[in-house]
Amino acid sequence: MARDKTLWELYTDEQLQEMEQVGARYRQCLDQGKTERECVRLSVEMARAAGYRSLKECVKEGVSLKTGDKVYADYNGKCLVLYHIGQEPIENGMNILGAHIDSPRIDVKQNPLYENTGYAYLDTHYYGGIKKYQWVTIPLAIHGVVIKKDGTKVDIVIGENEDEPVFAITDLLIHLAGKQMTKTGSTVIEGEGLDLLVGSIPQKKDDDEKSDADGNADAEDKKLTDEEKKLAKTPVKANILRLLKETYDIEEEDFLSAELEIVPAGKARELGFDRSMILSYGQDDRICAFTSLMAMLDINTPKRTACCLLVDKEEVGSQGASGMQSRFFENMTAELLALMGYPSALSLRRTLQNSSMLSSDVSAGLDPMYADVFEPKNAAYLNKGVVFNKFTGARGKSGSNDANPEFMAAIRRILDENQVQFQTAELGKVDVGGGGTIAYIMANYGMEVIDCGLAVLCMHAPMEVSSKADVYEGVRAYKVFLENMTNIYGL
C-alpha cells in the first residue's frame, strides 16, 4: 500500500459510495448509543437482525452449538460479547475484536437535587479523564435509567429532540473572571462546580392551602409533613420533583438507585466544507466499537471462530462486573465451549491462549495546532487508515502491553494482501504522552494482542473529530482480521 497517500487518493468511486453508506450508519449508531446501555441495546438489535441468538437462552435450552452458529451474551445490558463459530477446532483459538463502549462524561450523584438562590441543580461527579472547563455553557442531555424500589426500570432520555429542554453547566462572565483567569486549566472549573442547572420556576401553592371564605386557614389542610415543610422552603426543587413524578413516576429517593449520565446534546454531524470528517460525542471508543461490530456482522462463516467484545469501565480502569477485569468474557467463553462439547477448564485455557486479538482503541491524531507534543514519524494521522500501537503505557512503557513482532508481521501480511491501509503510532512524545487500553488484561491469558484503532482529534473532549475514510477503512481492516488471521504458531 502507498502509505504516503491518504485514503481519499486511493479509493475508487465504488469505495467512496460504500464509505458514505458506512459513515451514515456509523453516525446513526453514535446518536442511538450515547451510553453503555444504549450501545448494548442497539448492538443486540443489530446482532439479532443478523441471525444471532442469545447464548444464555441456548444454555437454558441445552442447545448444541456447531460451525456457523452465531450467539451473543451481555452482562446486565452494559457489556456484550458476540461469537461466530468457525470451521477450525475452537481450541486452536479465536480471532477477537475488543473495544470499550464507555466514554468520558459527567454522572449524577445519588443525592443530587438541591436548590440555591432560586435555581435547581443536580449535583454531579465526572467520569473518566476530562478537561472540566470544556463542559460548561454547552447544551447537555441526560441519559440513563432509574430503578425503582419495586424493580421497575424507567428509561430516561431528555434533551435530544428539538422539542425537549436541554441542560447546562454555568460559567463566570469574563467581566468578573479576573481571578478565575489566573488559575491553571485543571482548576479553572472545580469538580464540585460542574453541577447541572435544571430549573428556576417555583411550585405554586395548592388552592386548599389558601384561606377559606371567612379568611381563616383550614386547620386540617394546614397540617404538613416534615418533608412538605422542607420542600416549602425550596419551591423550585419542589416543582422539579413534581415534574419528575408526573412525567416519569419517580420520586427523590429513586435517585439512590439511578444511573444517569450527562452527555452533550445533539447529533453526530459531518464536519468541513468537504464533509470529510465527523464531529460527535463518544467517538472514544465507539468509533472502534461500532466499526468492530459492523465487521463482525458482515462476515460469512470464518475459518477460526470470530469474537467481538464490547466492554464497559475502560475509562476508569476496567474494574467492576462490566469491565474487562471481570470474569464475564471468560465465563461466557466457557459456556460457549460447553455447548460445543468442550466442557473442561483445559479447553478454555487452550482456546484463550491460542487466540489473537485486536484491542481496538482510538489513537491521538496529530493536530498541527498542537504539533509540539507529537513525534511526527511515530504519530497517527487522520485519513490514513487504522493505527497500530505496538505498545502503550507511559514513562518507560509502564502499564503497557508490548505486542510481539511475530504477531505484527502476520497482521502486516494479511492487510497488505487485502489492500487495507494501516499506520503505526505512539501516543505523543516519550516524556509527554501515554495511556492504557484493555490490551494488557487480555494478554494475561497468553494470547497475542495488539492495540489497533482509529485516529481522532480532540480525544476526551465533549465533541471529538474523526475521518469518514478511516471509519470505512476500519471496518475493512477488522473484517480482514476476522476472516484471515491464523494462529502464528501453526496450530
- The neighbour count for residue 98, using CB atoms within 10 Å, is 28
Q: Which string of DSSP letters, residue by residue, matches 357-393?
A: EEE---EEB--GGGGGGS-GGG-B-TTS-EEEES--B
In angstroms, the CA 473 to CA 15 distance is 10
- Please report, for residues 183, 420, 426, the alpha-carbon distance to residue 128 in angstroms, rounded to integers and kept in the order given: 22, 33, 21
Query: Which ranges of the chain have pLDDT less than 70?
Result: 1-2, 206-224, 490-491
pLDDT at 426: 87
- Sorted by where each starts, the structural domains of the chain and their CATH numbers stand as 7-103+281-484 (3.40.630.10), 105-264 (2.30.250.10)
Q: What's the pTM?
A: 0.93
In angstroms, the CA 133 to CA 131 distance is 6
- The neighbour count for residue 470, using CB atoms within 10 Å, is 32
* 455 φ, ψ (degrees, to nearest 5): -80, 140
pLDDT at 136: 97
pLDDT at 299: 97
